[in-house]
Amino acid sequence: MSVEVHLQHTTKRFGDVVALNDVSLDIARGELFFLLGPSGCGKTTCLRTIAGFYQPDSGQLLFDDRLMNGVPPHRRNTGMVFQNYALWPHMTVYQNVEYGLNVRRIDANEKKMRVMEALEIVQMRAYADRTSNQLSGGQQQRVALARALVIQPDVLLLDEPLSNLDAKLRLEMRREIKRIHSEAGITSVYVTHDQTEALSLADRMAVMNDGEIAQIGAPREVYNMPSNRFVAGFIGETNFIDGKFVGGNGREGVVETPIGRIYSSVISDKHDPEVAVSCSIRPEAIHINDTPIQDAPNQFAAKITSLTYLGNIEEYMLQLDQGIELKAVLHNPGQEAREPGRDVVIDVRPRDVVVLPADQPTTSFNAS
CATH number at residue 199: 3.40.50.300
Residue type present at position 82: F
At a CB cut-off of 8 Å and minimum separation 6, what does 226 contact?
215, 232, 235, 268, 280, 354, 356
| 362 neighbors 242 (Cβ within 8 angstroms) | yes
Q: Can you give the pLDDT at residue 250? A: 64
Residue 283 lies in a domain: yes
Lateral strand order in the sheet of 204-209: 78-81, 155-159, 187-192, 32-36, 204-209, 212-217
Q: Can you give the pLDDT at residue 269? A: 65
Mean pLDDT of 332-338: 86
- Is residue 248 very low, low, confident or very high in pLDDT (cuts 50, 70, 90)? confident
Residue 232 lies in a domain: no
How far is 336 from 342, CA to CA, in rounded Å?
Answer: 13
Shared domain for 73 and 133, answered yes or no, is: yes
Shared domain for 159 and 30, answered yes or no, is: yes
User: CATH number for the domain including 361?
Assistant: 2.40.50.140
Q: Shortest CA distance to 78 belongs to which of 102, 48, 56?
A: 48
Shared domain for 61 and 204, answered yes or no, is: yes
What is the number of domains present in the chain?
Answer: 2
At a CB cut-off of 8 Å and minimum separation 6, what does 164 contact?
83, 84, 85, 137
What is the per-residue pLDDT across 264-280, written as a single tens digit (0 to 9) for each? 998 766 777 889 999 99
- Is residue 324 very low, low, confident or very high in pLDDT (cuts 50, 70, 90)? very high
According to DSSP, residue 91 is labeled S
Percent of the residues in the chain that have a pLDDT greater than 70, as a whole number: 96
Domain final residue, candidates 224, 256, 271: 224
Q: For the chain, what is the radius of gyration of the CA atoms?
A: 24
Domain final residue, candidates 201, 224, 247: 224
Q: Can you give the pLDDT at residue 10? A: 98
How far is 11 from 4, CA to CA, in rounded Å?
Answer: 20
The three-state DSSP-derived secondary structure of 315-363 is EEEEECHHHCEEEEEEECCCCCCCCCCCEEEEECCHHHEEEEECCCCCC
Helix ranges (DSSP H) in 107-166: 108-121, 137-149
Residue 103 lies in a domain: yes
Shared domain for 210 and 286, answered yes or no, is: no
Residue 263 lies in a domain: yes
Q: Can you give the pLDDT at residue 177? A: 93
> 276 - beta bridge partners?
244
How far is 317 from 306, CA to CA, in rounded Å?
Answer: 5
Shared domain for 218 and 242, answered yes or no, is: no
Helix ranges (DSSP H) in 226-342: 229-234
| 106 neighbors 175 (Cβ within 8 angstroms) | no
Residue 233 lies in a domain: no
- Is residue 3 very low, low, confident or very high in pLDDT (cuts 50, 70, 90)? very high
Shared domain for 207 and 108, answered yes or no, is: yes
Residues recorded for the chain: 368
According to DSSP, residue 125 is labeled G
211: alpha, beta or left, given left = phi > 0 and alpha = psi -120 to 50?
A: left
Exposed, middle or buried: residue 220 (CB in 10 Å: 0-12, 13-18, 19+)?
exposed
Of all residues in the chain, what percent are helix, strand and coil, respectively (each to 5)? 30, 35, 35
Helix ranges (DSSP H) in the chain: 43-51, 93-103, 108-121, 137-149, 167-184, 195-201, 219-224, 229-234
Domain assignment of residue 220, given as a range: 5-224
Mean pLDDT of 11-37: 97
Q: Shortest CA distance to 234 belongs to which of 82, 346, 356?
A: 356
CB 333: neighbour CB atoms within 10 A? 18
- Is residue 164 very low, low, confident or very high in pLDDT (cuts 50, 70, 90)? confident
- Is residue 365 very low, low, confident or very high in pLDDT (cuts 50, 70, 90)? very low
How far is 59 from 131, CA to CA, in rounded Å?
Answer: 43
- Is residue 366 very low, low, confident or very high in pLDDT (cuts 50, 70, 90)? very low
Residue 173 lies in a domain: yes
Rounded to 10 deg, the angle between the 167-184 and 137-149 helix axes is 20
How far is 318 from 303, CA to CA, in rounded Å?
Answer: 6
How far is 189 from 49, CA to CA, in rounded Å?
Answer: 12
| 356 neighbors 232 (Cβ within 8 angstroms) | yes
What is the per-residue pLDDT across 51-61, written as a single tens digit (0 to 9) for each? 999 999 999 99
Mean pLDDT of 8-14: 98
Domain final residue, candidates 173, 198, 224: 224
> With 90 as the cut, is the pLDDT of residue 288 above it?
yes
Mean pLDDT of 341-368: 75
Shared domain for 139 and 220, answered yes or no, is: yes
